[in-house]
Copies of this chain bind each other. A is one copy, B any other.
Amino acid sequence: MPGELNSPQESEVDVLIVGAGPAGYMAALWLARLGVNTRIIDKRSARIFTGQADGLQPRVLEVFETFGFADRAMKEVAVGFEACYYDPDENGRIHRVKTAAEGIPGISRFNGSVVHQGRIEAWLTDAITEFSDGRIKVERPLQPESLEINGSGGDYPVRVVLKRLRDELAMPEQFGHTVQNGLYRQFEGDQETTPALLPGEGLEVVRAKYVLGCDGAHSWVRKQLGIEHEGETTDFVWGVLDMVPITDFPDIRKRCSIHSQNSGSIMIIPRENQLVRLYIQLREQAHHEEPELASASPDRSKKTSSRVDRSKVTAEQILDSARTILHPYTLDAAEIQWFTAYQVGQRVASAFEKDEHVFIAGDACHTHSPKAGQGMNVSMMDTFNLAWKIAYVVKGFAQPSILSTYELERRTVAQDLIAYDQKLSRLFSSKPGEISTQDFRRVIEKGTAFTTGCTVNYDRSILVDKPAGQSRSTPHYSPLATKLAVGMRIPDVKIVMQCDGRPWFFNQRLLSTGQFRVLVFIGDYAARANLKQQMHEVGEYLARADGFAKALGPRWESMLELLLIHASPQANVEWDDFPSVFRVRDDRGVMDYWKILADTPCFHDETGQAHERYGIDKEVGAVVVLRPDGYVAKVVEPTVAGVREVGEWFAHFLLPSTPLVMASI
């Protein structure tokens, strides 16, 4: 290795994230929030300021809210509320066939939204800075050169050699010079250049406990692990154009799917400010041997010329095709902000990790068309699923065995995504006349629930306690909470803080703190002696020094939050009635007033629907265990037996700092 002559600097880190895209940023955010020693590197010298991915699904906005910055998003994004479908009429003219809701009304407080990726990365960056006190920031341009996993390597078994690049060599070239575009993306050779070292800097060796490959569709990490990217690249070439339109098309600010008689299809996605994004199938492709602007990079142009020549696509070409489809409506651009062209490829990695120490996420695991607006979202949700698990292992809170749930849970999502994308791409890319517009709408409408991100249903595992043999498409409900599917995210509902009568969206109290949450729904306990008795028994059990939470050792509060939710009328309830385990005082004697919630009416809002929303009988109650990522892990009855079962379940994967001895009752 040439760099070793320079006797490279060596260091250790708990987690090394390779690639600062959506998956990498989300990993860094979670790890920053949980105080894990983390580095994140990227081989490019600059952030993205226009174009690229731009769709934010409701579930991702819910997750942003748990990190405290959904409000920033909501002030900047364009939200999709209506969808229009256009078909040719009997004279071959396009006309509006239907206006429908965009998304699934009521599934989330958030709706699918768009804003350019640079803004999203800015919010994430700010939050990472805040949570890590500025310690974690993207180091760029820094490129990995080799990666080895040594199973007997002690605490830091992954050895990565990093190379610092010169700034000017780390700006990938783009084809076309008058308009910002994304034509440099998806080139296989992207990673294979060998820019010169900075004098005096050279190589660096990092020894990591865990490495996350968040380095995109052509993932270098994936290649090092020898993981295949399985699937196919289709011949369909699509153009994407971000522009400020001048048009008489009446629905330009709604999401539109338009099928013309003879000129193909277009999707219109309104964006922030005056921008509109067009997705369009390009019907004629230029094929040239040598891309004009690639002469400075012969390796790259050689690679390129063997594929469909995306480099020849121009913004004007995309715009012209859009004009033809939209005829007789007019379309011009006051401003073109960005464009790109891509071939639809649909692939899923053959594995998502190696030796449970190196993981890949995001585009490194799954590639597909951008039409469903899912790529960035699924990528972020990959590492939102993974990073807390790594944090738990790094901190000694959990068995490493929980890490196996990452691939189990996210591979199915990737597969569902590819399956949906294949359907959608086939419809969109079909020749005119072949498309049944009714079929088209049916696929979209059926797929919409999936694209909200709110219907992801994780399989049974060490972290999801439900019966074996459940189909992913059939949610599993406990009879104790008949509308709260085990393995799915907890839906939001309004709830009242007992201490001050303030109504909250529950999601705003279920922040991403890294804690599992034990939600004790105790129903209308004041009206039923048995529930009152149960509540106090459960409270006493939870408070025992040798039992349950406290058995997890001195740091148990980093792992668990205990919340009580009752549904008794406020007039029948007094603060001191509640078990003291939910009214904890700190060392100074100051009470934590925020662990008891009321599912009751309040003076200023419409509340009191939580038991009903979750299918919990107010005369029976339930204990619901949420994972740190907000997914329902387990449902039991609100009794000592139920809570003891939860404790035993935790003991399968949580590690106490003192031995976990379950109390016997």
The answer to the question of A246 belonging to the interface, with a C-beta cut-off of 8 Å to chain B, is yes
Partner of A75, one of B68, B75, B335: B68
Q: Is the CB of B250 within 8 A of A604?
A: no
The answer to the question of A236 belonging to the interface, with a C-beta cut-off of 8 Å to chain B, is no
A248 to B580, CA, bound (A): 12
Q: Is the CB of A589 within 8 A of B334?
A: yes
The answer to the question of A286 belonging to the interface, with a C-beta cut-off of 8 Å to chain B, is no
The answer to the question of A6 belonging to the interface, with a C-beta cut-off of 8 Å to chain B, is no
What 0/1 readout, one digit per residue, does chain A (302-337) give for beta carbons within 8 Å of chain B? 000000000000000000000000000000101100
Given known A-B contacts A244-B590, A245-B590, A590-B244, A254 and B500 have beta carbons under 8 A apart: yes
A247 to B499, CA, bound (A): 13
Partner of A588, one of B75, B79, B246: B246
Q: Shortest distance in angstroms between A535's beta carbon and chain B's nearest beta carbon?
A: 18
Q: Is the CB of A603 within 8 A of B82?
A: yes
The answer to the question of A575 belonging to the interface, with a C-beta cut-off of 8 Å to chain B, is yes
The answer to the question of A185 belonging to the interface, with a C-beta cut-off of 8 Å to chain B, is no
Candidate in A253, A254, A591 with the most chain B CB atoms within 10 angstroms? A253
The count of residues in chain A whose C-beta lies closer than 8 Å to any C-beta of chain B is 48
Q: Is the CB of A588 within 8 A of B334?
A: yes
Q: Shortest distance in angstroms between A458's beta carbon and chain B's nearest beta carbon?
A: 27
Partner of A602, one of B75, B80, B81, B244: B81
What 0/1 readout, one digit per residue, does chain A (496-517) give for beta carbons within 8 Å of chain B? 0001111100000000000000
The answer to the question of A448 belonging to the interface, with a C-beta cut-off of 8 Å to chain B, is no
Q: Is the CB of B334 within 8 A of A82?
A: no
Q: Is the CB of A604 within 8 A of B105?
A: yes
A101: nearest chain-B partner, CB-CB: B603
The answer to the question of A24 belonging to the interface, with a C-beta cut-off of 8 Å to chain B, is no
Q: Is the CB of B250 within 8 A of A589?
A: no
Q: Is the CB of A101 within 8 A of B590?
A: no
What 0/1 readout, one digit per residue, does chain A (80-91) give for beta carbons within 8 Å of chain B? 111000000000
A270 to B499, CA, bound (A): 11
The answer to the question of A111 belonging to the interface, with a C-beta cut-off of 8 Å to chain B, is yes
Given known A-B contacts A254-B500, A274-B590, A500-B254, A604 and B81 have beta carbons under 8 A apart: yes
Q: Is the CB of A253 within 8 A of B499?
A: yes
What 0/1 readout, one digit per residue, does chain A (227-251) give for beta carbons within 8 Å of chain B? 0000000000000000011111011
Closest 9 pairs between A and B when the two form their complex, measured CB to CB: A101-B603, A82-B501, A253-B499, A250-B575, A334-B588, A246-B589, A81-B501, A253-B500, A71-B71
- A248-B576, A250-B576, A270-B500 known; 17 new pairs, CB 8 Å cut-off, are A68-B75, A78-B500, A79-B500, A79-B502, A81-B500, A81-B503, A81-B602, A81-B603, A82-B500, A82-B603, A111-B604, A245-B590, A247-B591, A253-B593, A254-B500, A254-B501, A332-B589
Q: What are 8 A-B contacts defined by CB distance under 8 Å?
A: A78-B500, A82-B500, A244-B588, A246-B589, A253-B499, A254-B500, A254-B501, A334-B588
